[in-house]
């Protein structure tokens, strides 16, 4: 279900993706048989990336070994797949630009994600669970689902964020499901799988997203999921804004205590541990240009919890979303982000003038200002190019003959970028150059004007450009509206499709969906050789429930059965309602004998506890038939048939049990 | 300092050298003043300063080119000077620069030519300084 929805998210083109070197590495390592050298070379082209990989290879976990100084050593030490995954994660961080969702706190997101990475890494090392670098990656990418949803649905996500203000992130889950039919935990899982990261990462991230906050008295699960859950709580505290409301600070204080308890650490030990994490976080923040709170330590956090958490709502200062007080400040926070400028139609036209002769430059500037345009001037062409790409003027007026880079070359460079393609380019030429002007149009110049530049002529030529600018702005505006409408349409379509693939009563996927899914899993199995197991489930004596208690009770029973089924299966399993009282469980990557564990769990969840339905005083049981993939099978229908036969055998054998197709075979052979 | 252009005391300062050929063309200066609008004198002063500074640099480059008998260096140096001189109304100087730009060989870069260039430039500088002075009051 979520796969089809995810495909549509991908089609929007707005999902966060690793860019630059990260993208190259993603492409390089799509299949498993890539050359380590190639990956190493790709990494080395990016000095900051190299630095970060080395930093991680030399982190505390590997302190005893001789320091690694080359990329190859790092690959040997960390493992090639870990290095690959790190590259993807780092490139996502470094390529980030301001996003389009107004209510989403992008800087805070990265600050928290980095904190989560650092804490997870430390916990992994300390508790000896998994590899610290893997925990680091999962921490860094843990919340990518929310980033993705905010990028694909900026307006709707802003609304959801508004509704969940001050709440913990799990609050968003149900709202996301409502609006997009997918929640951020699932999106994160899909993205990680899409990038080829290990399934264990993807599942751990999804798990921790859906069961985030530690309860009182919980201890840490000895797994990646467990680490991530603790790391999540601590990361939120580390990155929290001073100006957050008392409700938030109170919650954070509670989280802090739960984390300490879960880890079984005394106060002093725990505080030292957290301070260590803070130090690492600040360190990494500098390296990745992600904002942190360099002045804050645990003592400060505890004080904030006391003071701010203790305030009542009336005493509390208002906490604006875009806080004016120090937020985690990153160095690039001063530089403006680089989204395509969305200029209103009525705004004055912006013209950039470039000429190395200061007198001509000044005269041009004055001429244009007099005509009412907003003018920037620059006497140096390489710098002019940079200014153009940074500030996106509507029109560029440049002299042809300039040292370092002439006007035509400047135009050609400009046209190579997406932003530069949209600017109207006016070239200023000398009298004698008219013959060569034909070349100007090849290099992308829109029009030319000869010196000496008369004000009236300049005005006329510029007006031509302005007309195009206005048209462009209108087109941009319409495009923005259309994009929004298309996105909304997409959501509606998805909802519609979901409805046609969903059983309305139990809200499980229906038979139509089951068959599609089965077909896809079947080809996947044929292709990759991975296991596949089907479990046919049938509620025993269901007909008599309807007969004896009526259809209302029957429906309630089905709903409860569906709920128990969902609770008993694993995240990689999917259960569908394919008939009146018939269900099909698809277990991918699972062999028949493994699936028996799930089957037993299901059987007992039905039989051991009576359903609490008013008026219903019967015990309910199910029969199950399992069939695992075998090469001798020619189609998934045959597999279904085997499962069906096993189910039949279970019924015949007395119900409230599961039978494996393999056992049937041996029984038949023995007979 | 607003008012009709005839109030501006520049006429006597732009005439120098040959009595029939003013060093700085009136209409060009007028255009600049009109361009400046309310801040006409400020603009003019700014432009004169820019010109004086820039042209000194270009001249030095040109002199070097003459010395090395390098027509390309001369050409580059006078290209910008040509435009800026034209802007400031120094039409004759601008024309000379245009001719120099087209010079093909080192032999044409005679000492006489250089002297002519330097002489004209000096005249223009003087005229502009006087102009500037009358507007700085």
Q: What is the pLDDT of residues A192-240, one digit of tens each?
A: 888 878 888 888 888 888 766 667 767 777 888 888 988 988 998 998 8
| Nearest one of A432, A424, A382, A386 to A403, comparing CA atoms | A382
B37 shares contact with chain A (CB less than 8 Å): yes
Q: Long-range contacts: A547-552, Cβ < 8 Å, 24+?
A: A549/A615, A549/A616
Query: What letter would DSSP give residue A348?
Result: P
**pLDDT of residue A45 exceeding 80:** no
Amino acid A344: pLDDT: 54
Mutate which: B43, B53, B87, vs A, most A CBs within 10 A: B87
How far is the alpha carbon of A154 from chain B, nearest alpha carbon, in Å?
A: 47
**pLDDT of residue A21 exceeding 80:** no
- Give the tens place of pLDDT for each residue, A397-441: 999 888 888 888 899 888 888 778 889 999 998 866 666 777 777
Of residues A239 and A48, which shows the higher confidence score? A239
Option in A357, A370, A403 nearest B83 (CB) = A357
How far is the alpha carbon of A349 from chain B, nearest alpha carbon, in Å?
A: 20
Minimal Cα distance from A365: which residue of B? Answer: B35
- CB contacts of B82 in chain A (<8 Å) are 430
Option in B47, B76, B79 nearest A362 (CB) = B47
The secondary structure of A263-322, three-state, reads: HCCCHHHHHHHHHHHHHHHHHHHHHHCCCECCCCCHHHHHHHHHHHHHCCCCCCCCCCCC
Sheet of A374-378, strands arranged across: A374-378, A350-354, A395-399, A424-429, A447-450
Q: Do you find a cis peptide bond into A585, omega within 30 degrees of 0?
A: no
Confidence of residue A305 (pLDDT cuts 50, 70, 90): confident
Q: Long-range contacts: B53-62, Cβ < 8 Å, 24+?
A: B53/A358, B54/A357, B54/A358, B54/A359, B54/B80, B54/B81, B54/B84, B55/B81, B55/B84, B55/B85, B55/B121, B55/B124, B55/B125, B59/B117, B59/B118, B59/B121, B62/B100, B62/B114, B62/B117
Decide if A392 contacts A341 (C-beta within 8 A).
yes
A401 shares contact with chain B (CB less than 8 Å): yes
Option in B80, B87, B98 nearest A363 (CB) = B87
Please answer yes or no on whether B80 and A451 come within 8 Å at the CB atom.
no
Confidence of residue A95 (pLDDT cuts 50, 70, 90): low
B50 shares contact with chain A (CB less than 8 Å): yes
Minimal Cα distance from A429: which residue of B? Answer: B83
- Give the tens place of pLDDT for each residue, A457-510: 999 999 989 888 888 888 888 888 888 788 778 778 777 777 788 888 998 999
Euclidean distance between CA atoms A625 and A632, whole angstroms = 19
Please answer yes or no on whether A360 and B46 come within 8 Å at the CB atom.
no
Please answer yes or no on whether A451 and B83 come within 8 Å at the CB atom.
yes
The secondary structure of A411-444, three-state, reads: HHHHHCCHHHHCCEEEEEECHHHHHHHHHHHHCC
SS3 A350: strand
- Give the tens place of pLDDT for each residue, A467-476: 888 888 888 8
Amino acid A355: pLDDT: 93
- Give the tens place of pLDDT for each residue, A587-609: 998 988 889 999 999 999 999 99
Amino acid B12: pLDDT: 47
| Nearest one of B14, B25, B20, B17 to B90, comparing CA atoms | B25
SS3 content of chain B, % helix, strand, coil (to 5): 75, 0, 25
Structure tokens at A329: 């400040």
Structure tokens at A558: 């089905």
Option in A362, A370, A452 nearest B50 (CB) = A362
Amino acid A378: pLDDT: 94
Residue A666, Cβ density class (10 Å: 0-12 exposed, 13-18 middle, ≥19 buried): exposed
Of residues B89 and A340, which shows the higher confidence score? B89
**pLDDT of residue A7 exceeding 80:** no
User: What secondary structure does DSSP assign to A204-273, as a single string?
Assistant: HHHHHHHT-SPPTT----SSHHHHHHHHHHHHHHHH--TTS-HHHHHHHHHHHHHHHHHHT--HHHHHHH
Judged by average pLDDT, the poorest of A95-99, A548-552, A611-615 is A95-99
Of residues A7 and B24, which shows the higher confidence score? B24
Please answer yes or no on whether B80 and A452 come within 8 Å at the CB atom.
no
Of all residues in chain A, what percent carry a pLDDT higher than 70?
89
- CB contacts of B35 in chain A (<8 Å) are 363, 366-367, 370, 455
- CB contacts of B32 in chain A (<8 Å) are 363
Please answer yes or no on whether A455 and B83 come within 8 Å at the CB atom.
no
Q: Which residues contact A618 (CB under 8 A, 6 or more apart)?
A: A545, A610
Q: Long-range contacts: A276-283, Cβ < 8 Å, 24+?
A: A276/A122, A277/A115, A277/A118, A277/A119, A277/A122, A277/A234, A277/A238, A278/A238, A280/A118, A280/A121, A280/A122, A281/A114, A281/A115, A281/A118, A281/A119, A281/A238
Please answer yes or no on whether B51 and A359 come within 8 Å at the CB atom.
yes
For strand A658-660 and strand A350-354, is the pairing parallel, antiparallel, or unpaired?
Answer: unpaired
Amino acid B1: pLDDT: 42
Angle formed at CA A371 by CA A366 and CA A375, multiple of 5 degrees: 55
pLDDT less than 70: residues of chain B? 1-21, 137
A615 shares contact with chain B (CB less than 8 Å): no
Count Cβ atoms below 10 Å from residue A364 Cβ, excluding itself: 26
Please answer yes or no on whether B47 and A430 come within 8 Å at the CB atom.
no
- CB contacts of A452 in chain B (<8 Å) are 83, 86-87
Minimal Cα distance from A357: which residue of B? Answer: B80
A406 shares contact with chain B (CB less than 8 Å): no
Please answer yes or no on whether A363 and B35 come within 8 Å at the CB atom.
yes
How far is the alpha carbon of A469 from chain B, nearest alpha carbon, in Å?
A: 25
**pLDDT of residue A332 exceeding 50:** no
Minimal Cα distance from B87: which residue of A? Answer: A360
Amino acid A373: pLDDT: 92
Q: State mean pLDDT over A342-367.
A: 84
SS3 A532: strand
Minimal Cα distance from A366: which residue of B? Answer: B35
Q: Which of residues 445-504 of A touch B (CB under 8 A)?
A: 451-452, 455
**pLDDT of residue A24 exceeding 70:** yes
User: Can you give the pTM of this predicted structure?
Assistant: 0.48
B90 shares contact with chain A (CB less than 8 Å): no
Dihedral over alpha carbons A648, A654, A657, A659 (to 10 degrees): -40
Option in B35, B50, B76 nearest A359 (CB) = B50
CA A447 to chain centre: 44
A370 shares contact with chain B (CB less than 8 Å): yes
Asked if ipTM goes beyond 0.85, one says no
- CB contacts of B43 in chain A (<8 Å) are 362, 366
Of residues B55 and A34, which shows the higher confidence score? B55
Amino acid A514: pLDDT: 93
Minimal Cα distance from A428: which residue of B? Answer: B83
- Give the tens place of pLDDT for each residue, A249-297: 888 888 888 888 888 888 889 999 999 999 989 888 887 878 888 888 8
B83 shares contact with chain A (CB less than 8 Å): yes
Please answer yes or no on whether B53 and A358 come within 8 Å at the CB atom.
yes
């Amino acid at each position: 279900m979520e796969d089809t929805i995810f495909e549509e998210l991908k089609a929007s083109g707005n999902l966060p993706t690793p860019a630059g070197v990260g993208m190259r590495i993603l492409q390089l390592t799509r299949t498993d048989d890539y050359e380590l050298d190639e990956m190493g070379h790709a990494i080395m082209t990016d000095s900051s990336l190299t630095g970060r990989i080395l930093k991680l290879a030399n982190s505390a976990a590997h302190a005893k070994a001789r320091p690694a100084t080359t990329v190859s050593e790092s690959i040997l030490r960390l493992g090639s797949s870990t290095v690959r995954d790190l590259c993807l994660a780092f490139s996502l961080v470094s390529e980030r630009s301001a996003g389009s969702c107004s209510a989403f706190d992008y800087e805070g997101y990265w600050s928290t994600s980095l904190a989560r990475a650092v804490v997870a890494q430390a916990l992994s090392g300390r508790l000896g669970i998994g590899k610290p670098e893997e925990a680091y990656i999962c921490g860094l990418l843990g919340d990518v689902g929310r980033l993705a949803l905010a990028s694909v649905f900026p307006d709707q996500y802003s609304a959801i964020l508004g509704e969940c203000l001050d709440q913990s992130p799990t609050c968003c889950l149900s709202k996301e499901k409502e609006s997009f039919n997918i929640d951020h935990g699932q999106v994160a899982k899909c993205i990680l799988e899409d990038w080829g990261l290990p399934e264990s990462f993807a599942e751990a991230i999804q798990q921790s997203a859906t069961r985030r906050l530690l309860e009182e008295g919980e201890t840490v699960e000895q797994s990646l999921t467990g680490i991530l859950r603790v790391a999540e709580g601590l990361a939120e505290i580390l990155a929290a804004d001073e100006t957050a409301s008392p409700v938030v600070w109170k919650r954070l204080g509670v989280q802090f205590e739960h984390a300490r308890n879960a880890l079984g650490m005394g106060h002093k030990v725990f505080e030292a541990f957290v301070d260590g994490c803070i130090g690492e976080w600040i360190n990494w923040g500098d390296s990745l240009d992600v904002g942190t709170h360099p002045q804050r330590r645990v003592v400060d956090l505890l004080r904030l919890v006391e003071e701010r958490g203790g305030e009542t709502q009336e005493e509390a200062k208002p906490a604006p979303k875009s806080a004016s007080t120090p937020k985690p400040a990153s160095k690039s926070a001063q530089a403006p982000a680089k989204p395509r400028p969305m200029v209103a139609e009525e705004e004055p036209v912006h013209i950039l003038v470039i000429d190395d002769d200061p007198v001509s430059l000044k005269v041009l500037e004055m001429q244009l200002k007099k005509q009412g345009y907003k003018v920037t001037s620059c006497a140096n062409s390489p710098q002019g190019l940079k200014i153009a790409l940074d500030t996106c003027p509507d029109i560029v007026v440049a002299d042809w003959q300039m040292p370092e880079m002439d006007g035509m070359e400047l135009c050609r460079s400009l046209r190579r970028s997406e932003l530069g393609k949209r600017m109207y380019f006016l070239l200023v030429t000398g009298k004698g150059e008219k013959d060569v002007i034909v070349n100007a149009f090849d290099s992308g110049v829109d029009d030319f004007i000869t010196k000496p530049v008369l004000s009236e002529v300049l005005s006329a030529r510029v007006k031509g450009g302005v007309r195009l600018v206005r048209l462009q702005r209108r087109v941009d505006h319409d495009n923005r509206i259309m994009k929004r409408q298309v996105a909304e349409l997409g959501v509606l379509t998805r909802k519609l499709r979901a409805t046609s693939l969903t059983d309305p009563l139990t809200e499980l996927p229906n038979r139509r969906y089951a068959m599609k899914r089965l077909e896809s899993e079947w080809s996947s199995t044929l292709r990759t050789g991975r296991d596949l197991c089907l479990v046919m489930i049938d509620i025993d004596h269901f007909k008599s429930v309807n007969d004896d208690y009526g259809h209302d009770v029957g429906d309630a029973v089905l709903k409860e059965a569906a709920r128990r089924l969902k609770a008993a299966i694993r995240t990689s399993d999917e259960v569908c309602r394919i008939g009146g009282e018939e269900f099909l469980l698809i277990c991918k990557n699972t062999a028949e004998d493994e699936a028996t564990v799930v089957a037993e769990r299901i059987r007992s969840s039905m039989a051991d506890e009576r359903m609490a339905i008013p008026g219903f005083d019967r015990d309910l049981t199910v029969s199950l038939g399992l069939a695992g993939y075998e090469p001798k099978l020619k189609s998934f229908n045959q597999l279904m048939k085997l499962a069906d036969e096993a189910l039949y055998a279970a019924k015949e054998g007395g119900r409230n049990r599961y039978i494996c197709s393999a056992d049937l075979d041996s029984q038949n052979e023995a007979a | 300092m607003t008012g009709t252009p005839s109030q501006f005391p520049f006429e006597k300062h732009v005439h120098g050298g040959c009595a029939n050929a003013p060093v700085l063309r009136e209409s060009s200066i007028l255009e600049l003043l009109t361009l400046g609008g309310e801040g006409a004198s400020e603009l003019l002063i700014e432009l004169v300063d820019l010109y004086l500074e820039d042209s000194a640099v270009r001249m030095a480059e040109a002199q070097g080119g003459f010395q090395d008998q390098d027509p390309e260096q001369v050409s580059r140096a006078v290209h910008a000077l040509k435009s800026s001189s034209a802007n400031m109304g120094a039409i004759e100087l601008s024309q000379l620069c245009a001719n120099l730009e087209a010079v093909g060989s080192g032999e044409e870069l005679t000492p006489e030519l250089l002297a002519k260039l330097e002489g004209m430039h000096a005249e223009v500088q003087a005229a502009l300084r006087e102009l500037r002075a009358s507007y700085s009051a």
